[in-house]
Structure 1
Amino acid sequence: MLYPMSPKAVELKRKLDSFMDRHIYPNEERFYREAEELRPWKVYPVVEELKPLARAEGLWNLFLPDSGHGAGLTNLEYAPLCEVMGRSHLAPEVFNCSAPDTGNMEVLERYGTKEDKERWLKPLLAGEIRSCFAMTEPAVASSDATNIESSIVREGDHYVINGRKWYTTNATDPRCKICIFMGNTDPDNADRHKQQSMILVPMDTAGVEVKRALPVFGFYGVPDRASEVVFTNVRVPKENMLLGEGRGFEIAQGRLGPGRIHHCMRLIGLSERTLEKMCRRVRSRVAFGKPVSEQTVTQERIAEARIMIEQARLLTLNAAYAMDTVGNKVATAEIAMIKVAVPNMACQIIDWAIQAHGGGGTSNDFGLTQAYATARLLRLADGPDEVHRNQIARFELKKYSNA
């Protein structure tokens, strides 16, 4: 292997695979049923039942790299484990490795005060509460985050927050207790990347209103609890400001790098699971006198799917290695490349699997519609394809600036 797994990662993967077989896959049908019946405003009992089992087996907070709270894995070591978890929508939260909590915990770990860590990070690490991240806004093109209009205004010992956010994942969850809010503190700053700040907002603060749950391709709660939240004259202590005014983009880049690669790792696992479903389906169906698996078009799609998954995995492992060795900032191009390549790969493979399942593929019975919603969403979340492609092109053109 180009990137061999460490003995520690091999052992954790063995335990993860076993846990998935014993507890995750057998409970997926129940998970989707609870999500549909209870909707995104409730806690899904199956998740809470499985969390203690995962924690008891040491499969908890595996995502945290440099911390005494997690497994102490590098990005490269975590990649195959995150891929396993990505095979099921149920799995990530069971292991306390789901977005946006992972990114928020990393922010609190890096930039939070001692009091922030005690009040918010500690219960998040224990899986006792959940969190949300409020950045995207409905009134502006949020692919350019400098467009953010929400305001954070200093008034004495407090900041007053006003704004409307959406796709604020987790906000409808009754366990969601803390929000990391990105808003404008210095709109007249000539440097547009120093106009924004991030601040901690307890969800029970007066003026915070979760307006509605947002469906993702008709799904509420799966793949995530997307929400619209309004902040009206919300007052929080000045100590809630993270790192300092004008540091919002700096924090965002530190947060989004790991978040982007985690999404890609999970999508590779989802794509593997989808290809498995496709292969099993076409071997069990006969059309026009022979198994669908013997139809040339089917074989071509299976072959292409395998090639695409292997390419995406190698690209993702390369990005993980770069993050570990030269740091997230230097690995920006590698992260941008996987953020474009992996969701597009997943969308194509899931589309082929839907086609192979026939009409049933468009139902919710096979998990393919849920998988497609996830993959298609991730062509927009954490930066749309177009933004990452432009960034990659600028890096490439820069090589020839003196030509």
Structure 2
Amino acid sequence: PLTIDQMKTAIDDLAEQLKSEGKLTSPREWRRRSAAFGLPGLDLPKSVGGSDWNAKQMLEVFRHAGRYNLNLRDVVGGAHGRPVVMMDSPIAKAALQKLVAGEAYFAVAITEEDAGTDTKSMQSQAVRDGGGFRLTGSKLWNARLRQATHVVLYTRSAEGSPNAQSVFLLPINHPGLEIVDRYAHGLTGNSFGGLKFNNMYVGPEYLIGKDGDGSKIFEKHFLYWRLMQAAAAIGCGERALEIMAERIRQRHVLGGPIGRFTHLQQPIGEYLTKLRMAAALAREAARFYDQGNYEAAEPLVNGIKAEGVEIALAACDAAMRVHGAVGYSREVDLGDRVRDLMGLRIADGTTDVMRMTVVREQYGFDLWEMSIRGYSVAPPRERE
């Protein structure tokens, strides 16, 4: 097994190779070629061929990958294939073997046109059909479907409460599954779009966990996933500050380097300190997660997902502005950073919702209920 530093070096070497080939942002190339040093299975159990690295170790790997490109956050570890470990079917075992070998790439489809943060508004439905299910619905605003070999698909459950959900692992070419394409401002190397499916038959061997377990699976997986996305964002912002520091050393205006203008130095100090603070908080959250103390980890993770991404975005924006016109071009590695961080502030839990959950978890659930409860406002005369 590699150490964390050895893993970083292996990522550096592969990044240079892929960059020279024009394939730096190709997730399939990353997964295929990084299997040689164990990157795809890094956080999967040894029972499926992984290395069983814990969250604290993985945090540093995601952070390092984010230095190159924020889309590399999806090429580290099992990613959305992690919940599949719960399955015991031959289909799942084969998919995990391919994942560890770098031959598979998993996407996830939860959001719908009218169901994002409010997952209870999900309309995609599973209905029992003998031992299997019939799935009907659509998904939208999902990334990486065109590059994926498999998709983890969430629907309303066939049985149980109306708000219960179920989750399935499907090959992307499953009969009846149609990909719908949309345009994204970022996600270089990846697609953006959704899925359509109507009365699609799915056998019981594709169900992850039990019917109705979807919410539980979502909460545990995305607690980990949000933490790792924040780590990648931190690395993305840290690299942007290095690019910014080099710019103010080299760019000469009015007879000298622009670094002599100290107001251009101050954002580097400010955002570097804030990113390091976010990294320290992320390590604390990872420690709680590894201990199985998810209740303590959750407010930290949600807070880091919000503030870590926002700080990284501010750092990249500052780096872009100090470059002037060239900062808005593809001559420097900043445009994708800004665009992808703007997407990440929405994906996997928006900044505003994450902040609300921090308040809820720290100060009481009544504040959350107050924010989402429907109130009937009386006309002005009645209020008087």
**TM-score, normalized by length of structure 2?**
0.86
**Aligned CA distance change for structure 1 residues 133 and 271 (closer, same or farther; 3 Å):** same
CA distance in 2, matches of 1:59, 1:178: 18
CA distance in 2, matches of 1:21, 1:240: 37
Cα deviations across residues 54-109 of structure 1 (Å, max 9, x unaligned)? 4334555223367563222221122222211221138848x9516xxx34321011
Cα deviations across residues 11-47 of structure 1 (Å, max 9, x unaligned)? 6233234334433145436436x86xxxxxxxx5x96
CA distance in 1, matches of 2:193, 2:366: 44
Q: Which moved more, 1:196-205 or 1:356-365?
A: 196-205
CA distance in 2, matches of 1:338, 1:241: 32
CA distance in 2, matches of 1:23, 1:178: 24
Please tell me whether the aligned partners of residues 24 and 90 of structure 1 are also in contact (alpha carbons under 8 angstroms). Answer: no
Structure 2 residue aligned with 1:208? 177
Q: Shift in Å at residue 259 of structure 1?
A: 0.8
The CA RMSD over aligned residues, in Å, is 2.8
Structure 2 residue aligned with 1:349? 315
User: What is the 5 A alignment of 1:4-403?
Assistant: 12-25=3-16, 27-28=18-19, 30-31=21-22, 44=26, 48=29, 54-64=34-44, 69-89=49-69, 92=72, 96-97=75-76, 102-109=78-85, 111-138=86-113, 140-173=114-147, 176-185=148-157, 189=161, 192=163, 195-212=164-181, 214-217=182-185, 219=186, 221-222=187-188, 224-398=190-364
Identical amino acids, percent of aligned pairs: 23
CA distance in 2, matches of 1:159, 1:399: 36
CA distance in 1, matches of 2:22, 2:286: 31
Aligned residues: 367
Please tell me whether the aligned partners of residues 61 and 125 of structure 1 are also in contact (alpha carbons under 8 angstroms). Answer: yes
Q: Which moved more, 1:321-330 or 1:162-171?
A: 321-330
Please tell me whether the aligned partners of residues 322 and 334 of structure 1 are also in contact (alpha carbons under 8 angstroms). Answer: no
CA distance in 2, matches of 1:71, 1:55: 12
User: SS state of the match for residue 166, structure 1?
Assistant: strand
Cα deviations across residues 148-187 of structure 1 (Å, max 9, x unaligned)? 11111112233111112123222112xx332211111259
Cα deviations across residues 320-368 of structure 1 (Å, max 9, x unaligned)? 1111124334411111111111100111000000001111111222221
User: SS state of the match for residue 3, structure 2?
Assistant: helix
CA distance in 1, matches of 2:176, 2:134: 10
Letter in 2 for 1:97: V
User: SS state of the match for residue 122, structure 1?
Assistant: helix
Q: Shift in Å at residue 272 of structure 1?
A: 1.4
**Aligned CA distance change for structure 1 residues 52 and 384 (closer, same or farther; 3 Å):** closer
**Structure 2 gap segments, 5+ residues each:** 368-384
**TM-score, normalized by length of structure 1?**
0.83
Please tell me whether the aligned partners of residues 180 and 201 of structure 1 are also in contact (alpha carbons under 8 angstroms). Answer: yes
CA distance in 1, matches of 2:46, 2:291: 14
CA distance in 1, matches of 2:39, 2:152: 26
**Structure 1 gap segments, 5+ residues each:** 1-7, 36-43
Letter in 1 for 2:191: R
Please tell me whether the aligned partners of residues 135 and 182 of structure 1 are also in contact (alpha carbons under 8 angstroms). Answer: yes
CA distance in 2, matches of 1:288, 1:242: 64
**Aligned CA distance change for structure 1 residues 116 and 390 (closer, same or farther; 3 Å):** same
